[in-house]
Amino acid sequence: GAMWRGAAAGLLCLAAACLLRRGFEPRARLLSAAELRRYRGAPGQPGLYLALLGQVFDVERGRKHYGPGGAYSGLAGRDATRAFASGDFTPAGLVDNVSGLSPPELLSIHSWLSFYSHNYEPVGKLVGRFYDENGAPTEALREVEAAIEEALKLQAESEQEKQQFPPCNSEWSSAKGTRFWCSRQSGGVHRAWAGVPRQLFSPGAQRSRCVCVRSSGPPWGQPGSSRHSDTGDLQHPHLQQYRGCHPLAEQCVLPA
């Protein structure tokens, strides 16, 4: 009788626990927007969830931030992906529409997604903009992911450019004008050379900016080439000298 039934229930329960541990059930859970709205952490509600790019996370551990009255309570119970990029916590900003975001904003979404993946339990997917009713990624999600991929590539290129062309130090005074100079750690890039100031014109940028340029050795990225003019990157096509400054001076003053 009853004892046997209890034992059988116990066995079933164990099997379910195994399934849960293997991550089958909770990851496959699909929530509608209406279901997700019930998870805002208020008394009598089943829990505290938020979604980012359609991925739903249990943020109960961060209740003081996301629960009622918390600074980020607006993010709870919905997918407010756009707010993670824009910082706009008004109803207009608390939406999942990510069209027209800039590369830095996309990178912000990317880093928040990795933050939640590392710190909170994923519980499922939100059916809507980013996942269809079978939990498969939508075209919208693929587009965002491709845009994030592109933003990551741009970021890597600009990091690379910063190593090649570190920003100058600069100071301005109404009496003297602007002084640019290079040091071995200007622009926060610690290196073995100081370089000389040049204007760098990046394709697509409105204005030039002052960078420090290596003035001896082979050009950047060609350490092994023996046939070079030993002028570092000074021949780079996007660079221009400052008028009235000695081409190899480590500092340059532009009158006010």
Distance CA 52, CA 83 (A): 10
20 lies in a domain?
no
Assess whether 78 and 127 both reside in one domain: yes
Calculate the alpha carbon distances from 225 to 218, 228, 249 in Å.
7, 7, 26
Q: Which amino acid is at 213?
A: V
Calculate the alpha carbon distances from 227 to 135, 141, 222, 231 in Å.
58, 49, 10, 12
Tell me what pLDDT residue 18 has: 46
Tell me what pLDDT residue 159 has: 85
For residue 90, what is the DSSP state? S
Assess whether 146 and 177 both reside in one domain: no
Tell me what pLDDT residue 226 has: 63
Tell me what pLDDT residue 60 has: 97
Inter-axis angle of helices 103-119 and 139-164, nearest 10: 110
For residue 48, what is the DSSP state? B
Assess whether 43 and 144 both reside in one domain: yes
Number of domains in the chain: 2
Strand partners, 181: 169, 251
Q: Among 125, 142, 158, where does a domain finish?
A: 158
Assess whether 83 and 108 both reside in one domain: yes
240 lies in a domain?
yes
55 lies in a domain?
yes
> The domain containing residue 173 runs over which residues?
165-254
Assess whether 149 and 37 both reside in one domain: yes
Distance CA 184, CA 197 (A): 13
Average pLDDT for runs of 10 along the chain of length 256? 53 50 58 97 96 97 96 96 93 94 93 95 96 96 94 87 92 90 93 94 85 90 69 90 89 86
Assess whether 135 and 183 both reside in one domain: no
Tokens encoding 40:
């805002």
Assess whether 171 and 128 both reside in one domain: no
Assess whether 115 and 40 both reside in one domain: yes
Closest CA to 41 of 76, 84, 92, 91: 76
Q: Among 128, 158, 188, where does a domain finish?
A: 158
86 lies in a domain?
yes
Assess whether 126 and 205 both reside in one domain: no
At which residue do the structure tokens 């590392």 appear?
Answer: 118
16 lies in a domain?
no
Assess whether 144 and 247 both reside in one domain: no
At which residue do the structure tokens 């928040």 appear?
Answer: 112
Assess whether 193 and 214 both reside in one domain: yes
Tell me what pLDDT residue 9 has: 52
Cβ-contact 113, 55 below 8 angstroms? yes
Assess whether 63 and 86 both reside in one domain: yes
